[in-house]
Amino acid sequence: MTKANLSKTYNPKDFEQRLYQEWMDKGYFKSSPNPDKKPFCIVLPPPNITGQLHMGHALDHTLQDVLIRWKRMDGYEALWQPGTDHASIATEVKVVEKIRKEEGKSKYELGREEFLKRAMDWKDEYGRVIVDQMKQLGSSCDWDRERFTMDQGCNEAVTEFFVKLYEKGHIYRGNRIINWCPDCKTTLSDAEVEHEEKDGNFYHVKYYLKDSDQYLEVATTRPETMLGDTGIAVNPNDERYKDIVGKVAILPIVGRELPIVADDYVDMEFGTGVVKMTPAHDPNDFGVGQRHNLEQINVMNEDGSMNDLCGKYAGMDRYECRKELIKDLEEEGFLIKIVPHPHAVGTCYRCHTVVEPRLSEQWFVKMDELAKPAIDILKNEELKFVPERYGTGTYLQWLENIRDWCISRQLWWGHQIPAYYCQECGEVVVAKEAPHKCEKCGCTEFKQDEDVLDTWFSSALWPFSTLGWPHNTEELEYYYPTNVLVTGYDIIFFWVVRMAFAGMFCMNETPFEHVLIHGLVRDSQGRKMSKSLGNGINPLEVIDEYGADALRFMLITGNSPGNDMRFYFERVEASRNFANKLWNASRFIFMNIDDEIMNGVTRESVEANFTLADKWIISRANRVAKEVTENMDKFDLGIAATKVEDFAWSEFCDWYIEIVKPRLYGEDKEAKQTALYVLTYVLEKILKLLHPYMPFITEEIYSCLPTVEGSIMVSEWPHYKEEDNMAQDEAMMELAMDGIRNIRNARAEMDVPPSKKAKVIIIPTEEKLPAIEAGKDYFVTLASASEVQIQMTEENVPEDAVSVVIEGAKIFIPLDELVDFSKELDRLNKEKAKIESEIKRVNGKLSNQGFLAKAPEKLVNEEKAKKEKYEEMLKSVLERLESIEAKIK
């Protein structure tokens, strides 16, 4: 029965990677449809192949691993479906830069086919990095099922999705205002635009009416877009401008005639109530322009420079053009004033370049009809958010105000849009494969659309494309809908919304039952971790120093659903200290076990010998198992982890192990067997409850536990057992523990060392007498009692005895037995001298007129408060001195 004991020192490097490889070799992470088990499935939010594991990943992946390991132990067929995302923009930027540096070529010089080959080579070389890092964290994904958003199956799913949407009228190609990144040179969806507060200006400019000295005052934050103005708009209810509607204004510098239109879009209360219309460079102006047939003039190139329609400004960068244009407006008398105006500016979520709204022909998903089923599943509670506020808030608000989704990207790395153009007549054919013949003109030459789809288009299919859709696979039938999606609140509109509507469109079912939302991991000052601030913390470096278990436990216990958390190294150290405590406690238990002592020991053979402490710890372990499971069911994973930690550290290690030491060291074999049975029984529960959080240390300790076989990964989750419910014994033991705590506190206040034994007199009520008698011996072990005397009255209790009161009992300790009066006299005299010195110092300050005149009132009050405190302390010490001196006399 005896197994090898743990090494003397807890060192995670000795076993973490060894154990992970053993789990992999034995196939413990694998999952297959099993009709005899209930399925539990989580799809991993696919990290970018360009990515490195950061602290946000570490939190996200730990939460998922906790849920998967728990459900696996709880008898479910648990699948954690892994995969990575091709990350169109980020990957293309890296590959383009690599080719430029190494070969001095652009992607266009290589050609599309060769560029895609280089990109795939880059993915094969660097795309595995984050997966290998996940393994160091302990992630128990079924790696045999790993997917990639551009693998053959996902490619097929994306094409199927696009064609189905198109055939149902949900996809169209149109000339509309889109978000354009001049640096990445591609469109962005609304969700990919981040708004940053920047300092800007309102430039107030004169727009003269045609053939008149009258002018309109127009304010703009982007004067360079004036070059594309094609109209002026005012509110139809604005009395100031009723007489000019239908007239024409002249565009300063350029001289273009601008029709003046009336439109409800214009806010009469904002600015001058006159708005210039640039339909090709502003989404709101575009809408007004369509209603009033205004011309659309695009004045910018893809790189943000001004195009050939801009006259003398052609070729200038947009900001250089702004400077020159303002200079010219001022010189020609058109500039009225410049007013500082900080405002939110849209930036690219990848490179943080200021986004330029511009008119462009792109592919769009029409969202109005698709959003409705995604809204219904939330309202019908088929989809639940944890915390709920992210469903009724972010998710619902986004869907109810959603705009059409621009899905085309001007890139090569990604899913090429399955649209084909007849080279003879221009007919557009959307199909899963290239057509052989144009049904309109008979031409056989087609060219596929150059653009690729937004990365999120493929990610929207992730919960079911990874399980085999569009084919009706066994996995899809068994695991879908999945159970939980774990993700950050910053990605709800990027991804969760799209998976919801895609799942309803393709599968007519919600893609997951719950969405567990977590916050961001911030630095110790509460700042978001970023490269620019240089405050990022590498999880791998933390793992190298403290171990994966310590990092995981710190992240979980510092987390509550939906809320940000701060990263403190002190908390990682505290988690490692907990692991070390568990290690040493386990090692101590194993040191007291041998084949002979535990041979044939069962619950039935020792149960009659259970002490009050034995029943208490078994019952507490049973209750903790229930509380942990209940909290995990509610996704309060941090609370569940803390409950196990508190129980293991305080009740099991600090109390129970100390209580049983006399039995372990004694000669009574049956008492020792009973103690060891309870120790191993409760330790096994603790290890199992901790395993989802701290998989490595729990497996290593479990492998040395002589009462079990196999891996803890596939062991049974501890559930509440009625036979282990001993609530009455718990209450009795708690009473004894309360008394011991109070005695310890009283001794600490009097600076009595633990080695100093003293008699303890306990006077319980009739009701509590059985509990006190049952816990009597624990006062000797844990309260430094030389003897414990139980009596029902205060007769013969010394007058100067130290007393403590607990519920149902009074406890007395004779003062003479606690204190060495001569030593206590010396100590108190030293304390008196020290306090008198402090009083003298404070009095000196408070009698110093210079200090009182110059020091802030707050500082003076602090010194007065100190004086009062020291005087109170001195009074207490003098009273104690007087009492002891009287005894000595």
> How far is it, in rounded angstroms, from Cα 134 to Cα 43?
15
Mean pLDDT in residue range 634-653: 97
pLDDT at 326 over 70: yes
Q: Which sequence spans correspond to the domains of the chain?
A: 200-341, 568-707, 730-818, 823-888
pLDDT at 164 over 80: yes
Structure confidence at residue 820 (pLDDT): 66
- CB neighbour class for 6 (10 Å; exposed up to 12, middle 13-18, buried from 19): buried
> How far is it, in rounded angstroms, from Cα 60 to Cα 633?
18
Instruction: Provide the b/e sequence for 603-640 (b: ≥16 CB within 10 Å).
Output: eeebeebbbbbbbbbbbbbbbbbbbbbebbeebbbbbb
pLDDT at 423 over 70: yes
Q: pLDDT confidence of 343, banded at 50, 70, 90? A: confident
Pick 448 or 800 by higher pLDDT: 448
pLDDT at 450 over 90: yes
Residue 516, classed as helix, strand or coil, is: strand
Mean pLDDT in residue range 658-685: 95
Contact assessment for residue 82 and residue 44, using Cβ atoms and an 8 Å cutoff = yes
Per-residue pLDDT tens digits for 575-624: 999 999 999 999 999 999 987 888 888 899 999 999 999 999 999 999 99
Structure confidence at residue 484 (pLDDT): 97
Per-residue pLDDT tens digits for 117-136: 999 999 988 888 899 999 99
pLDDT at 809 over 90: no
> How far is it, in rounded angstroms, from Cα 15 to Cα 388?
40
Helices 548-557, 539-546: crossing angle, 10 deg rounding: 120
> How far is it, in rounded angstroms, from Cα 701 to Cα 694?
11
Structure confidence at residue 888 (pLDDT): 66
Joined tokens for residue 587: 């090692």
Mean pLDDT in residue range 388-395: 90
Q: Which of 330-334, 689-693, 744-748 holds the top average pLDDT?
A: 689-693
Question: What does the mean pLDDT of the chain come to?
Answer: 91
Mean pLDDT in residue range 345-349: 84
pLDDT above 70 as % of the chain:
98
Q: What is the pTM of this model?
A: 0.83
Mean pLDDT in residue range 737-753: 86
Pick 441 or 481 by higher pLDDT: 481
Joined tokens for residue 800: 């100067």
Q: Is the peptide bond before 47 cis (omega within 30 degrees of 0)?
A: no
Structure confidence at residue 456 (pLDDT): 92
Q: Report the candidate in 824, 827, 748 with the shortest Cα–Cα distance to residue 784.
A: 748
CATH fold match for the domains 200-341 and 823-888 = no
Mean pLDDT in residue range 203-219: 93
Distances from the Cα of 193 to the Cα of 31, 94, 347, angstroms: 39, 20, 5
531 is in an annotated binding site: yes
- Distance spanning both ends of the chain, measured CA to CA: 65
Structure confidence at residue 1 (pLDDT): 52
> How far is it, in rounded angstroms, from Cα 453 to Cα 35?
38
Pick 531 or 559 by higher pLDDT: 559
Joined tokens for residue 841: 């110092």
> How far is it, in rounded angstroms, from Cα 448 to Cα 450?
6
pLDDT at 2 over 70: no
pLDDT at 154 over 90: yes
Per-residue pLDDT tens digits for 213-244: 999 999 999 999 999 999 999 999 999 999 99
The domain defined by 823-888 folds into Helix Hairpins (1.10.287)
Q: pLDDT confidence of 747, banded at 50, 70, 90? A: confident
Q: Which CATH architecture has domain 200-341?
A: Alpha-Beta Complex (3.90)
pLDDT at 550 over 70: yes
Longest dimension (CA), the chain: 124
pLDDT at 191 over 80: no
Structure confidence at residue 418 (pLDDT): 97
Q: Which of 81-90, 772-781, 875-884 has the lowest mean pLDDT?
A: 875-884
Structure confidence at residue 824 (pLDDT): 63
Pick 93 or 721 by higher pLDDT: 721
Per-residue pLDDT tens digits for 266-308: 998 887 899 999 999 998 899 899 899 999 999 999 899 999 9
Structure confidence at residue 50 (pLDDT): 86
Q: How crowded is residue 738: how many other Cβ atoms within 10 Å of its Cβ?
A: 17
Pick 878 or 24 by higher pLDDT: 24
Task: Write down the CATH number for the domain with range 730-818.
Answer: 3.30.2320
Contact assessment for residue 774 and residue 612, using Cβ atoms and an 8 Å cutoff = yes
Contact assessment for residue 675 and residue 600, using Cβ atoms and an 8 Å cutoff = no
Structure confidence at residue 318 (pLDDT): 93
The domain defined by 568-707 folds into Isoleucyl-tRNA Synthetase; Domain 1 (1.10.730)
Pick 824 or 222 by higher pLDDT: 222
DSSP string, 585-628: HHHHHHHT--HHHHTT--HHHHGGG--HHHHHHHHHHHHHHHHH
Mean pLDDT in residue range 379-401: 92
> How far is it, in rounded angstroms, from Cα 588 to Cα 583?
9
pLDDT at 436 over 60: yes
